[in-house]
Amino acid sequence: MTAPRFTVLYRVTPDDDRSIEAHAKDICIEQTVEIPADAVPAGHWEKGIVGIIEKITERPGTPTDYDVLISYRVDITNNEIPGLLNVLFGNISIRRGIKIVDISFTPDQLKAFGGPRYGIEGIRKALNVHGRPLATTAIKPLGLSSPELAAMCGGYARGGLDVIKDDHGLIDQHFHPFRERIARIAEAIREGNAKSGNVTHYYPMLAGRFDQVEAQAAFAKEQGCFGVLVPPFLIGPDTGFYLARKYDLAVMTHPTFSGTHFHDPRHGMTPAVLLGKLFRLFGADISVFPNFGGRFTFSREECVELADDLRKPWGGLNGAFPSPAGGMTIEKIGTMIDAFGVDTALLIGGALLRYSPDQEVSARAFVTGLDNAMKERKP
Amino acid sequence: MTAPRFTVLYRVTPDDDRSIEAHAKDICIEQTVEIPADAVPAGHWEKGIVGIIEKITERPGTPTDYDVLISYRVDITNNEIPGLLNVLFGNISIRRGIKIVDISFTPDQLKAFGGPRYGIEGIRKALNVHGRPLATTAIKPLGLSSPELAAMCGGYARGGLDVIKDDHGLIDQHFHPFRERIARIAEAIREGNAKSGNVTHYYPMLAGRFDQVEAQAAFAKEQGCFGVLVPPFLIGPDTGFYLARKYDLAVMTHPTFSGTHFHDPRHGMTPAVLLGKLFRLFGADISVFPNFGGRFTFSREECVELADDLRKPWGGLNGAFPSPAGGMTIEKIGTMIDAFGVDTALLIGGALLRYSPDQEVSARAFVTGLDNAMKERKP
């Protein structure tokens, strides 16, 4: 019986004169046995423990690059996030000209990692919001006091926002200690919800040390938060997803500190693979990413591909909300809907803060903007 | 009283026509308050909560780039690893053309993070090895059985190697489950040490999920391991350092999955900053990195700068061993000593496996090679 395998599509730009086959073989070895080919035990080749080159396709263009499809045994990843990332791109992250452009998992892998716990449907149901994108904002800026931040959130809730997340810079600083901030904001949102009759969810930032982060997740749950903001590259690729599952919290992922993967089109992972496919597989219900047209580097095509990977049918996995952010404004709502469609968590941060000194007014303008844009787009 | 600040030296290559001052200001805002400048509360500027441009220096060359020195308040990082990385390079990792080339910490920051627990001196004392580099190897390849791996380690210990680490691909796979592997290898090394009268240390790979990794560290300690192999980018930047401190284990860091920082000379962090300065600050006693002249991308200059940052006097922090690895051979020992000096943990992996089918013979050749090279270099 052959051991199950999954495949990774690497785009390889050779950095020397060796053949593409030699480069592909390097990857197969580097990501598994990591020893010279002539030192690999004979049985290892037969058992497929070394990566296997499934297909090499030359692509048109200059410089010449190639799509290299490599398969690995599933069991060498141990179906755990650290082990999977290690096999996908561990040591070759330190070599040149290798980009992961796609990954195909087996049904058992999808089941093992599990994907979004709530997904688009679960979050919509809990919010009771249908037929339009979610109105989402970030609590800013760091350095205000907890009561000041809570007052803003109360306004946003009264104004009918769907989702409020901590700015990712809000951690456990003395300006607004984690527990004090979460308790006050959760309370302000509860009061706002009671007044408006709407439901607003709050996702506090999970960024503590190893010994703090579980207590932070538990506290968020205790305070009635629907989810948490998870920065996989700050607290560990596995940490936030694991804790959210344990404490039955939704996951909104934040891409902070992950961006070196995207800087070079010939190295790293594409936004769709890392912030789309992998984060969804690991359990993201909402994936925040830097939108095109803002102050970041993603192209429109990259953003749309990422959104597709979050939502398209994929085994039995729930779909996740793409959450384009960064330099977004109420004026751009229509453009955003045209680019991303309805199942999107539109995130307007700084511009909402600027819109009016009264957060309730700003929130209402955001939601009204969404409703109007949807009406314009309906027959 | 002004709040204490630390400084980060960014090398910035503007990706548009705006002035370097505008780019520098972007970084100051993006890494702190993350809102449009006109929305920043007035008091925030006065309190220095926004990053401050300390100095901008144009560098010669094409394309034009600049050294931009920015200071941040220490307290916005909360003196924790996730918070510090977030301020250093969180969101700007997703912008273009920004490289961290140096960081200056305050004495209080050095104290808060603490640096290497054992350091060069502590490890030398425990090994009773002085006046030559450490002979270090990796246990390879994954997919053998635990008894097979343990037998190899027994040979290495009898032959007098100083440090044996797991290959970073050895996690908790069914081929060699974590506990079984660690117990058997630790036992084989104890027996080998008893025979040789030498001391060989073992560093098993810490790569479990959030809910497994602490038990793994505790088990390693229980089995008498001197340290653990910590992959910060797989298990979380803080996780392994925290656990090693808690269980009184030495830390050998592994750079797997961190390499996107180094691919582009105009983006990310330099090897010296990430694998040298930061890993040492966080607690690395030995930092493994891909050597020049092997199959990876670091230049000789980058490797030497990294090694310097690990060892040079730095507040009261212990020095850490640089551990150049990747494509190293016994023949290259002299070259390595000339490049890195005596306080180095030379790591020969695949080539040692290839040297002889008898690991005791290979280990002895390695140690003899070190002794001879040192003799040749003494007056």
Sorted by where each starts, the structural domains of chain A and their CATH numbers stand as: 5-113 (3.30.70.150), 119-376 (3.20.20.110)
B296 and A94 within 8 Å at the Cβ level: the answer is yes
Which is it for strands A268-269 and A98-104: parallel, antiparallel or unpaired?
A: parallel
Which is it for strands B52-59 and B65-73: parallel, antiparallel or unpaired?
A: antiparallel
User: Which residues from B are below 8 Å from A256, CB to CB?
Assistant: 86, 90-91, 93
A82 and B297 within 8 Å at the Cβ level: the answer is no
Q: Looking up tokens 């309370």, which residue turns up?
A: A187
Tell me how far apart the alpha carbons of residues A140 and A153 are, in angstroms, rounded to a whole number.
10
Tokens of A292: 């095109």
The shortest C-alpha distance from A130 to chain B (Å) reads 30
Q: Is A163 helix (H, G, I), strand (E, B) or coil?
A: strand
A268 and B263 within 8 Å at the Cβ level: the answer is yes
Gyration radius of chain A's alpha carbons:
22
Q: What is the mean pLDDT of residues A222-230?
A: 98
B94 and A262 within 8 Å at the Cβ level: the answer is yes
The dihedral formed by the CA atoms of B90, B93, B98 and B102, expressed in degrees to the nearest 10: 50
Tokens of B71: 């200071």
User: Which residues from B are below 8 Å from A214, CB to CB?
Assistant: 210
Whats the size of chain A, residue-wise? Answer: 379
B44 and A143 within 8 Å at the Cβ level: the answer is yes
Question: What residues are paired with A89 via a beta bridge?
Answer: none
Work out the angle between the directed axes of helices A359-376 and A333-340 (0-180°, nearest 10): 50
Tokens of B10: 């960014």
> In this predicted model, what pLDDT tens digit does every residue of A247-283 receive, in sequence order?
999 999 999 999 999 999 999 999 999 999 999 999 9
Asked if pLDDT for residue A326 goes beyond 90, the answer is: no
Measured CA angle at A25 (ends A22, A29), to 5 deg: 140
The shortest C-alpha distance from B128 to chain A (Å) reads 30
Contact partners, residue A269, CB within 8 Å, separation at least 6: A88, A89, A99, A100, A261, A262, A278
Tell me how far apart the alpha carbons of residues B185 and B282 are, in angstroms, rounded to a whole number.
28
ipTM score for this prediction: 0.97
Closest by Cα among B227, B151, B198 to B367: B198
Q: Looking up tokens 């305070």, which residue turns up?
A: A223
Question: What pLDDT shows up at residue A2?
Answer: 85
Question: What pLDDT shows up at residue A1?
Answer: 59
Contact partners, residue B62, CB within 8 Å, separation at least 6: none
Tell me how far apart the alpha carbons of residues A135 and B24 are, in angstroms, rounded to a whole number.
31
Cα dihedral across residues B259, B262, B268, B271: positive or negative? positive
Tokens of A270: 């594409």
Closest by Cα among B155, B339, B96 to A296: B96
A86 and B169 within 8 Å at the Cβ level: the answer is yes
The shortest C-alpha distance from B346 to chain A (Å) reads 17
Question: What pLDDT shows up at residue B1?
Answer: 59
Give Cα separations from A5 to A2, A33, A51, A104 (angstroms).
9, 16, 9, 10
Question: What pLDDT shows up at residue B326?
Answer: 86
CB of A177 within 8 A of CB of A167? no
Q: Best interface-test mutation with A: which of B15, B18, B26, B35 has the largest number of A CBs within 10 A?
A: B35
Question: What pLDDT shows up at residue A21?
Answer: 97
Nearest CB among A36, A142, A296 relative to B32 is that of A142
> In this predicted model, what pLDDT tens digit does every residue of A79-88 receive, in sequence order?
999 999 999 9
Cα-to-chain-centroid distance, residue A355 = 27
B35 and A268 within 8 Å at the Cβ level: the answer is no
Question: What pLDDT shows up at residue B247?
Answer: 98
> In this predicted model, what pLDDT tens digit does every residue of B55-89 receive, in sequence order?
999 999 878 899 999 999 999 999 999 999 999 99
> What is the DSSP secondary-structure string of A305-319?
HHHHHHHS--TTPPP
User: Which residues from A are below 8 Å from B35, CB to CB?
Assistant: 140-141, 349-350, 353-354
Tokens of B31: 């890494």
User: Which residues from B are below 8 Å from A90, CB to CB?
Assistant: 168-169, 231, 234, 256-257
Q: Is B127 helix (H, G, I), strand (E, B) or coil?
A: helix
Q: What is the mean pLDDT of residues A19-43?
A: 95
Q: How many CA atoms lie within 13 A of A244 on its CB side?
A: 32
Closest by Cα among A262, A181, A255 to A225: A181
pLDDT in tens, chain B (379 residues): 589 999 999 999 998 999 999 999 999 999 999 999 999 998 999 999 999 999 999 999 878 899 999 999 999 999 999 999 999 999 999 999 999 999 999 999 999 999 999 999 999 999 999 999 999 999 999 999 999 999 999 999 999 999 999 999 999 999 999 999 999 999 999 999 999 999 999 999 999 999 999 999 999 999 999 999 999 999 999 999 999 999 999 999 999 999 999 999 999 999 999 999 999 999 999 999 999 987 778 999 999 999 999 999 999 999 999 999 988 899 999 999 999 999 999 999 999 999 999 999 999 999 999 999 999 998 6
Which is it for strands A65-73 and A52-59: parallel, antiparallel or unpaired?
A: antiparallel
Measured CA angle at B216 (ends B211, B218), to 5 deg: 110
Nearest CB among A76, A81, A237 relative to B173 is that of A76
CB of A252 within 8 A of CB of A203? yes
Q: What is the mean pLDDT of residues A366-370?
A: 98
B142 and A32 within 8 Å at the Cβ level: the answer is yes
Cα dihedral across residues B206, B111, B3, A175: positive or negative? positive
DSSP state of B274: I
Nearest CB among A34, A171, A295 relative to B141 is that of A34
A260 and B263 within 8 Å at the Cβ level: the answer is yes
Q: Which helix (H) or strand (E) holds A132?
A: none
CB of A175 within 8 A of CB of A143? yes
Question: What residues are paired with A251 via a beta bridge?
Answer: A228
Work out the angle between the directed axes of helices A300-311 and A333-340 (0-180°, nearest 10): 60
CB-count burial class (<10 Å; 0-12, 13-18, 19+) for B49: buried
Question: What pLDDT shows up at residue A297?
Answer: 82
Preceding peptide of A177 cis, ω within 30°: no
Q: Is A290 helix (H, G, I), strand (E, B) or coil?
A: strand
